[in-house]
Amino acid sequence: MTIGFSIRTRSRKVAAALVERFAKLPVANISDSMSRMSAAGPRLRPYHAQGTVLAGPALTVRTRPGDNLLVHKAIDMAEAGDVIVVDAGGDLTNSIMGEIMVYLAQEKGVAGFVIDGAIRDADEIRESGIGMFAAGVTHRGPYKDGPGEINAPVSIDAMVIHPGDLIVGDCDGLVCVPLDAAAAILDAAEAKQRAEVTEIAAIRDGNVDRSWVDKLLETRGVAYID
């Protein structure tokens, strides 16, 4: 078995119908429905147009910092709607990709990228309309030597992503929804969204009960000092 330089076939991925429903939900509500235990961390920020929501099945790539040979291969392998997730170790010395690779990906119908590393051509990427999360920007270009892996599990800030898992990203950041739990998490996140809509309506109507704040402070033993 080859270690560290291999390309695997992705055997399954989240259904398009689930992707469509998750894309309508705030990442914060999805995260809350997963006990707030899964997140890609604040380092990865959006580099796409404001209002863009990134959602789709993960096509995973692990590569050494500053090398994008396997990212090129992932673009060639990608299916429409995929999110290419690249674990490049978070290094910002060399960019992993720029506008040319984005245009190649758009021709394949790729939904977007998650790059735990740097990108370049940031203005062009933002104008392209593709979803893009990255750890930073640098003008220094990449190498194309390998090694790397495609469709192996990757980890970004302790968030483990398997091939075919659901990636959802908005202005608050990213979350990975495990494929096998996606349906149950969707039900919980949609319920939370409905409850939040009801609560906001009550606030705007001036009909909200805030007594829970004092009750909780009392149970915590707060002292009021004049």
Q: What is the pLDDT of residues 188-213, one digit of tens each?
A: 999 999 999 999 999 999 998 999 99
Torsion from C-alpha of 188, 190, 196, 197, nearest 10 degrees: -160
**Res. 38: pLDDT tops 90:** no
Q: Is 100 annotated as a binding residue?
A: yes
What's the pLDDT at 165? 98
Using an 8 Å Cβ cutoff, are 107 and 79 in contact? Answer: no
Confidence of residue 1 (pLDDT cuts 50, 70, 90): low
The average pLDDT across 140-163 equals 95
**Res. 30: pLDDT tops 90:** yes
Using an 8 Å Cβ cutoff, are 134 and 125 in contact? Answer: no
Which pTM does this prediction carry? 0.93
- Other CB atoms closer than 10 Å to residue 181's CB: what's the count? 13
Q: Is 121 annotated as a binding residue?
A: yes
C-alpha 34/C-alpha 160 separation (Å) is 14
What's the pLDDT at 130? 96
Q: What is the number of residues in the chain?
A: 226
pLDDT tens-digit map of 55-113: 999 999 999 999 999 999 999 999 999 999 999 999 999 999 999 999 999 999 999 99
Using an 8 Å Cβ cutoff, are 112 and 168 in contact? Answer: no
With left for phi above 0 and alpha for psi between -120 and 50, is residue 35 left, alpha or beta?
left
CATH topology of domain 6-188: Glucose Oxidase; domain 1 (3.50.30)
189, β-bridge pairs: none
The average pLDDT across 17-46 equals 91
